[in-house]
Amino acid sequence: MSINNRDFAPVMGIRLGSAAAGIKYPDRADLVVIELPLGTTSAALFTRNAFCAAPVVVARRNLGVRPPHYLLINSGNANAGTGDQGMEDAEACCEGLAEIVDCQASQVLPFSTGVIGEPLPVSRLVDALPQAINSLTEDGWVTAANAIMTTDTVPKLASRQFLVDGMPTTVTGMAKGSGMIRPDMATMLAFIATDAIITPKLLRECLQQAVEPSFNAITVDGDTSTNDACVLVASGMAPTTPISDAKSVAYQKFCTAVAEVCMDLARAIVRDGEGATKLVEILVEEADSSAEAKDVAYTVAHSPLVKTALFAADPNWGRIMAAVGRAGIEDLDIQNVAIWLDDTCVVCNGARAEEYTEAAGQAVMDQSEFVIRIVLGRGEAESRVLTCDLSYDYVRINAEYRT
C-alpha cells in the first residue's frame, strides 16, 4: 500500500534525531543522527567520483569492519577536497559520537553534503551531537529530511507497506538532492530503512536492483557528486518470519516496496532540480543495446539546447533530433528514427511527421510533466532517464552558491 509523504510510516527500531550545529547557517537544523538497533542489516552504495569525499572513504571502510550502529549526517559542508585533514575530521566526528553513545567509532558511518573544499567545523558539529541524540525518536523523519537539505526546496520522503505473515512491514526513505545530480551509483544522499528481517545478501541485491531504474537513471545537470551515498538498513524488528529466499513472495514484495520508495525519491529529486519547472522522462526504444539506449537518453537529457527549450516550453524538436544524431551511434539509419512528445508523433522516418502540428507539440510542452519518446528502429533494448529543464534560476542558484 502507498503512504502519502505527510503520512509516512516510522520504522520500528530506527530512531532519528536532529540539531542545529551552525555548520553553514545559524539556527538551522543541519545535523542528523540515525540510531540503528544492534543486529541491523545494512547495505550501501557510494559515488564513483575519483575525488570522493572523506566521509565516503570512512563510511565505506567502517561498513567493511562491522555492522553500523549509527549514521551521522551533516549538511552545509561536504568535507570533500580536504585532503588528510578531511579524513581526520571525518574520523573525529565518528569518535565524538561514539564517545557519547558508548560504541566503537567504526560503528558510525559519516555522511556530508554541502560546499566542497572547505574544512569541516568539527567542534561545532561535535558540540551539537548531544542535542541530536536527546531528540532521537522513531518519528524524526520529517525533521531529519529537512536537516539534510542544501539547495533543496522541499524535503523528500516516501513510504510503502506490505504484508508478511499477515503483518504490515514498512519501508521508509528520505533523500536530498537538487543540483550536481547525475548519480553514478545512487543519489546525492538517500537513507532507506525497513523493519523487515532479511539476510545481508538479499538486502544488498535488492538495493542494487532498486537503484538502477531510479537513482541511477536521473540527471539534473550531468554532474556526479563527490559525496553520493545510498544506504538501506533493516532493523529486523517486524514480528514476521525472516526473508531468506530470493524466490519467495515476501522477497518480491520487499523488492517492490524498496524499488517504489527509491523511484518516488528519485522523481522528487529531479522535480526539485535547481530552478526546475519541468519533469521529463526520456524514453529510448528499439536500440541495439541497453548501453546504446542509455547513451542516447543521456545525450538528449544533457543537451543545454534541449533543456532550455524545455524551460521555454518550446516544441523545438530539431534540438532533440540533433542530440540523437550526435549520440555516437554507429551506422544509425535516420529513416528508422521516430520521436514522440507524449502521444504526439513529431518525427517519422527521420523527418517531420506529416500529421504533426505546432499546436499539438505546444500542448505537450506546456505541461509540467511529459515523455520524450525516441524510437531508433535498431533492436529491442530500451532505457529511461528522468531529467528536468534548465532555467534562469539554475544559473543564479549555482552562481550564488558560496555567497
Please state, in angstroms and rounded to a whole number, the distance separating the CA atoms of residues 340 and 344: 5
Identify the structural domains of the chain with CATH numbers, from first to last.
2-271 (3.60.70.12), 279-399 (3.10.20.340)
Q: Is 187 a catalytic residue?
A: yes
Asked if 113 contacts 189 with a C-beta cutoff of 8 angstroms, the reply is yes
pLDDT 10s digits, 163-211 = 999 999 999 999 999 887 787 654 479 999 999 999 999 999 999 999 9
Q: Active-site residue among 172, 187, 194, 344?
A: 187
Contacting residues for 195 by C-beta, under 8 A, at least 6 apart: 11, 12, 13, 14, 169, 170, 234, 235, 236, 237, 238
Which residue, 270, 169, 256, 179, is CA-closest to 217? 270
What is residue 184's predicted lDDT score, i.e. its pLDDT?
Answer: 66
Task: Give the pLDDT confidence score for residue 180 in this predicted structure.
Answer: 76
Q: How far apart are CA 245 and CA 239, in angstroms?
A: 18
DSSP conformational letter for 99:
H
The label of the residue with cell 541530536 reads 132
Query: In whole angstroms, how far apart are CA 139 and each of 7, 11, 34, 72, 142?
Result: 11, 9, 11, 17, 8
pLDDT of residue 185: 52
Residue 244, φ and ψ in degrees, nearest 5: -135, 0
The dihedral formed by the CA atoms of 348, 302, 372 and 230, expressed in degrees to the nearest 10:
140
Q: What parts of the chain have a pLDDT lower than 70?
A: 1-7, 184-187, 403
pLDDT tens for 355-382 read 999 999 999 999 999 999 999 999 999 9
Name the amino acid, one letter, at 39.
Answer: G
pLDDT at 1: 45
Residue 266: its pLDDT value, please?
A: 94
User: What is the rounded CA–CA span in Å between residue 141 and residue 139?
Assistant: 6
Q: Is residue 313 within 8 Å of residue 362, measured between CB atoms?
A: yes
Number of H helices, E strands in the chain: 11, 16
**Alpha-carbon distance 140 to 33, whole Å?**
10
